[in-house]
Structure 1
Amino acid sequence: MPESTPEVLFVCVHNAGRSQMAAGLLDHHAAGRVVVRSAGSQPADQLNPAVVEAMAEIGIDISKEFPKPLTEDAVKASDVVITMGCGDECPYFPGKQYLDWKLEDPAGQGIDAVRPIRDEIDARVRALLAELLPGDKASD
């Protein structure tokens, strides 16, 4: 068992699609073993409805989530910061692990375009969880 609970922050521009899916998936698979946050450098007014629908299809309800602004405190509190297309707008702090996931943006896309993005994020989240909690069995 790790000495402390790993903390992960997912960041994209609007915090309405990719970062919300990643946070929902990691929260689901980690089952309380990882602190999960998401934020946007320019948060939208609401989540992308196709993203909410794509997540509901796999049994994860993110309908009550909302886009949140990126704060320095959220970055400072995180062990791993995963960016998804926010470029140089993400604050950098030494000692943090930064990953940049190149993913298609689901903004303005229908459910058929969002599903493969969701599935790609799911594969990456499962791999990340295996790194964060080696030897630990991820839940499904």
Structure 2
Amino acid sequence: MTATVLFVCVHNAGRSQMAAGWLRHLGGDAVEVRSAGSLPGDQVNPAAVQAMAEVGIDISDQRPKVLTPEAVEASDVVITMGCGDACPVFPGKRYLDWPLADPAGQGVEAVRPIRDEIERRIRELLAELEVSPRA
């Protein structure tokens, strides 16, 4: 069974995009990845794109998407990253909150430690989902 994971942050331009990039990269076809924002921005944060490119993951083609109740309902795991109470709650879903610094307006130097913490959490998530990370 493929698990579906939804990452949610306010602008869907930094943290959630980096998390989705890591999960797609490490989880491959074993995980379906979605991301959305309660107030999506116009574009993915260029510093997040640069920080991910440094580790060989291209998220430059991603676009912020609006969070819908349908996206939450269709997901097995919903991971919030500072979207507050804008996330709809459905019974039977697993909810995690990852309190991560917001990379908005930060340079790549400030985004790198956020990227690295997201990678650590993604690897933990994959272990919980019993998915072996790809090399």
SS at match of 2:29: coil
Q: Aligned partners of 1:19, 1:59: CA distance in 2, in Å?
A: 17
Partner of 2:9: 12
TM-score (norm 2): 0.98
Partner of 1:28: 25
Q: Deviations over 1:35-56 (max 9, x none)?
A: 0000000000001000000000
Instruction: Determine which of 122, 132, 138 is the counterpart of 2:133.
Output: 138
- The one-letter code sitting in structure 1 at the alignment partner of 2:99 is K
Measure how far apart 1:92 and its partner are.
Answer: 0.4
Instruction: Determine which of 72, 87, 102 is the counterpart of 2:84.
Output: 87
Q: Aligned partners of 1:129, 1:27: CA distance in 2, in Å?
A: 11
Instruction: Determine which of 66, 72, 75 is the counterpart of 2:69.
Output: 72
Q: Which runs of 5+ in 1 are unaligned?
A: none
Deviating runs (4+, > 6 A) in structure 1?
none
Partner of 2:43: 46
Q: Aligned partners of 2:68, 2:115: CA distance in 1, in Å?
A: 25
Count matched residues.
135
> Percent sequence identity over matched residues?
70
Partner of 1:60: 57
Q: Aligned partners of 1:34, 1:60: CA distance in 2, in Å?
A: 17
Q: Which runs of 5+ in 2 are unaligned?
A: none
TM-score (norm 1): 0.95
